[in-house]
Chains A and B, each alone.
Chain A
Amino acid sequence: MKILVTLKRVVDYNVRVRVKNDGSGVETDGVKMSINPFDEIALEEAIRMKEAGAAEEIVVVAVGSDQCQQQLRTGLAMGADRAILVETQETAGPVQPLTAAEAFLKIIEQEAPSIVLMGKQAIDDDCSQTGQMLAAMWNRPQATFASKVVLNGSSAQVTREVDSGLETIEVDLPAVITVDLRLNEPRFVKLPEIMKAKKKPLDVLALDSLGLSESTDFEMASYEAPPKRGGGKKVESVQALVDELKQRGLL
């Protein structure tokens, strides 16, 4: 069984992003970039499936600029076998979910994986769309927000984190599974693995060589910082807190 894992290069989750002064975007120059944390969890799950003997090969795929090779190399160091970069022109701006899904579909047609594991959302645009779009275009099942995945031969039982609690569905394979935070804790990469990863294959395909162009129909007109919520005051006692709440009509 082959597993495809998608990796997105995003601003590291520890970085507090700032909107550029001219409102044209957020500041990414000189900012630390990493694998989207949800995608890291997806890759960890794939590696565990392989370690358990349920999968033979893990292919990591990214759609984006040449710089995404860094994140793909990290994925290879974590334990993926091969990497594919679908390269876009950096000038075209952030890759839209529809473009990413179309590119992944092309790679699926070439690779015929049994499972596609993805993060449930990317922490930059927070769209939470690509997995579901891909499943729809592939005409295959989707199991989103997974906190547990059990493989049963030709199907998978997936527990999903939903607003009302946990929901379990069964999907026939091949399927797209998007993962939530509590599925697992990704491993740390050790130095020897980083060295080994340099020798693993990483193919680069231009987006237009797949017959695709970047969808740019949505105009990101302007960016702004969120309205600041000013801190209020501190109270000295529980009684003072209760008095304040009463004064505001909250008790």
Chain B
Amino acid sequence: MTKVLVIAEHDGTQLSVATAKAVKGAEGVGAEKLDLVVFGNDPASVSEQAAKISGVDCVRVVSGEDFAEPLAARMAPEIAKMASDYSHLFVASTTFGRDLMPRVAGLLRLNQVSDVMAVLGPRSFKRPIYAGNAIVTVNVPETVATVLATVRTASFAAAQMTGSATIEALESQASDPGHTRFVGREGSSGEGPDLSSASRVVSGGRALGSADAFKVIYGLANTLGAAVGASRAAVDAGYVPNELQVGQTGKIIAPDLYIAVGISGAIQHLTGIKDAGTIVAINKDSEAPIFEVADLGLVADLFEVVPELEKLISA
């Protein structure tokens, strides 16, 4: 019987959109039962949000102070103990899921399928390798007791939020090994839409030249109601914080509209935007590789045209 467990991701108050995308991906295996597990200190509100995800039968809630922060060392043993009830375990391929699922796999001594971009059957998946330059079809034989996978969120739409799953409290089954402690977090300002799930994104690259100059990107993004992103070069140069990086080692996104400003388009960056609806590129260099993938290109000095674009849009 195909029974799926999806691990929910949240920040203590809000369930992440990535979770609903992971559910959508997981549904592809033809689950007869699909459960969600939520870990948290006081996850009542998150559990209620999770219960609304269409396709979910039961939200299983493991609560306690030990789960106040998403530490893989704490959650993985619990998930490993639940695994025998399921044929498939899924989680979104965010930093949360990428940290957690292989630890579960290690405890179960199983291989894992990372970054599932298409589900071909209960045990057959497509995933990108070599920064998306190749796609491999992976078949997991029946001899593997549980299929463990992370879901590439850019490849799946979020499941609807019209469901009504049951909510069930579970006792924690494993003890805290005590060797891993949460210290702190510094995060994004929280202004504007979330980069991972925004429908519009404006990104800046090295050509901006300074943190101060990045203001033009923020200005345009603000006018469009878009999230701000950046190339690795811009992050490395310190123009913007790391969480804005789009690409192979940053965030992989699929907005309806992506505007790349002063980004040359290194393959590592293009990996992160392949699934965008419409890509617009603004760059001084007409030979920049970004134009090979852009639906609309404008060869121009960004400092001249971005303010003009902003003005025309708000007009």
Contact = CB atoms under 8 A, between A and B. Distances in A.
A206 to B, nearest CB: 21
Given A128-B98, A168-B184, A226 B274 contact: yes
Given A157-B183, A165-B187, A165-B241, A135 B136 contact: no
B11 interface: yes
A125 B111 CA distance: 13
Interface string A168-192: 1111100100001110000000000
Contacts of A235: 296-298
B269 to A, nearest CB: 13
B306 to A, nearest CB: 9
B102 to A, nearest CB: 4
B187 A135 contact: no
Contacts of B305: 238
Residues of A in contact with B, size category: 35 or more
B33 interface: no
A74 B81 CA distance: 42
B162 interface: no
Nearest to A219: B139
Interface string A112-156: 000000001101111111111111110111111101000000000
B137 A221 contact: yes
Given A234-B298, A250-B256, A164 B111 contact: no
Nearest to B304: A238
A231 B291 contact: yes
A97 B232 CA distance: 27
A98 B110 contact: yes
Nearest to B11: A164
A42 to B, nearest CB: 14
Say whether chain A's binding surface is mostly helix, strand, loop, or mixed: mixed
Interface stretch (B19-27, B41-49, B83-91, B243-251): B243-251
A1 B26 CA distance: 44
B168 interface: no
Given A171-B180, A215-B111, A245-B280, A135 B188 contact: no
A133 B96 contact: no
Contacts of B184: 167-168
A221 B188 contact: no
A218 to B, nearest CB: 5
Contact of A126 (B131, B180, B187): B131
Given A218-B111, A224-B135, A250-B278, A163 B243 contact: yes
21 contacts: A16-B267, A26-B129, A101-B106, A126-B115, A126-B248, A128-B102, A128-B114, A132-B106, A133-B103, A136-B103, A141-B177, A141-B179, A144-B72, A147-B242, A157-B183, A169-B180, A182-B235, A217-B141, A218-B144, A232-B297, A238-B309
